[in-house]
Chain A
Amino acid sequence: MQALLVFLAIAALSLLASSRTALDPGRFPALAQLAASGLLFLALGAVVGPGSAGLLEWSDLVAVRPVLALGLGVAGVIVGLNLEPRLLRLLPRAVYAAALAHAGTAFLWVALPLAGPLLFSMGLPPGAAVGAAALLGAAASLSSGHFAVLGYRTGRLERNRGLSVALLTVLDDVVGLGVLALALAFGVKGSVLGGLGLVGLALLLGVACGALLAFLMHGLNDHGELMAVLLGGVALVSGAAAYLRVSTLLAGVACGATLAIIGGRAVGQAARELGRFERPVYLLLVFLVGAHVQARDVMAWALLPGYVGLRFLGKVLGGALARRIAGATLALPPRLGYALIAQGGLALCLVVEYLVLVPGPLSQRVFDVVVAGAVFNELLASRAFRRVLAATPTRASGGAT
């Protein structure tokens, strides 16, 4: 019955998300914005989940965990496929430094101040509290470039400026994934070496599955077969990671990156095929993520303003720093930090992965703060991005960076 409820809710949302009347930006701007970003699905998941209205129970969420694993795997493979090594090698060092500056500043601004409240409110060992604060920082460091991409596609922002912002947001994913790996290494096992071993196992699994997938796809010309093999490969890497209780997201990223390196011509096809499933899988994933929210945790609500506010400040300062570092290399817009407020789906993936692999009150609190923060950040990002546009003189679309 749980699956029925999940899919009914998604079908209803899918209808709502497509309704021009219900989601007229002139009438309900916030609702329209959440629908466009898919976070409406997150909000509905939170409402029907066991931590709120209780239409779904915790046992239901355990039952649909295979779907969650698949969603994380797909997200990981897509991120991995986007990390094209040839393009990454061509990037100047200043670009990496700028990405690290904006992500690192937000990380530190959130992780350091919030480590204290986590430590004192939970009564847990300092190591665990620091790990949780680090994950909050990692989630805060991630940004989504969808406002920038939308901006240049609609002609409101120069193309090269939009692409520069998008590039920085792609690179900050690496920071987030790195922190996730460390948080899992410290959190999953008593011994750090054992935890590192599990992170290594996830990466090894991903590399092996990526190589296998490249071999299986080699020489396949039929569109249907290619799609089926790709789907099977993604399910295999996600499923194997979930079965061995190692990070599905990291395994997926390793699989995608391996495929990108050795896949040859199959990579482009794989990316295109997977892109067709990206939106439905993302919507399903954010719905399931939302359903895991524990809305009755007062302490999480208390931490939320601090998280959102500190992240905002961190992004504004980090953006200014990044602009100073890479201003001569990239066509970055003034008030860059305001363009980096939107948080994106990878942050949700990070915290849900942490919740699944390191279950407990601490990971639940971190999860609740980041998920609620994602919604507020999305609403905040729209207004913030208008300040970027206001400060940016609009010219005819320029060339690529």
Chain B
Amino acid sequence: MVNYNTQLDRTFAALVDPTRRAILAHLEREDGTSVSQLAKPFSIKLPAVMKHLDVLDHAGLITRSKVGRTVTVRLSPQPMRAALDWLRRYERFWSVSLDRLAAYAERKEAEARRTRR
């Protein structure tokens, strides 16, 4: 359970940065991209990109494999799934609850208006 929590926190922490989200979006369009191709669209230097990749790797969001001099980066969906499950689960719970809260409060408001008359 501790691991699950730590993992989830790492995932969300990794997703905080816009460059990292852009890297993931790039991989989503084109999985299995080399690091140099991945770095191209960004106005930052390769070492900076490598640092972002380290964070994403550490969070389990990507995997890197090296063949010769080329490092290939791939998306790893499991942590993203866990993060989404977390959000979705609460969304289900609270969407329905808040709709019912609204209906309940509106009934109470109608009652309050009737008794005031």
A-B interaction: no
Interface residues, chain A, with chain B CB atoms under 8 Å away: none
